[in-house]
Amino acid sequence: MNVKIKKQNPEIKILTHPECPPEVIAASDFTGSTSGMSKYVKNNQPKKVMLVTECSMSDNVQVDNPKVQFIKPCNLCPYMKKISLQKILECLEKETNEILIPEIIIKKAQRAVERMVAVGRSH
């Protein structure tokens, strides 16, 4: 997808989160946390940018960077909208909705989180 977009928009900068698939990251211009992507746009002011992230993230960064044109692929995460502070508080108070994760997945996820933190520190 990134290669096709770059062919159609040679001046575009593609920014991705570290949890994107490796082939998406390889075709991007910058990989980092949400705040890292926001700083990249603010500091570099590219002519066009595409944030490969949740829909509202591009909207938030665009408000602070009116001279930058945003191409929005709009990847709506169905799980983000289900979380609320009230639901989190209820889970903590009642100690409900425990999720048990197999050890092998924990180890793989831990590596991904550690890489994400390392990328965030390097930018």
- Position 9 pLDDT exceeds 90: no
CA-CA distance, 88 to 115, in Å (whole number)? 26
CA-CA distance, 13 to 46, in Å (whole number)? 7
CA-CA distance, 123 to 32, in Å (whole number)? 7
- 25-64 per-position pLDDT tens digit: 888 899 988 889 999 999 999 999 988 877 677 888 888 8
- 76-102 per-position pLDDT tens digit: 556 666 788 999 999 999 999 888 999
pLDDT band at 123 (very low <50, low <70, confident <90, very high): low
- Position 10 pLDDT exceeds 70: yes
Domains and CATH numbers, the chain: 2-122 (3.40.50.10800)
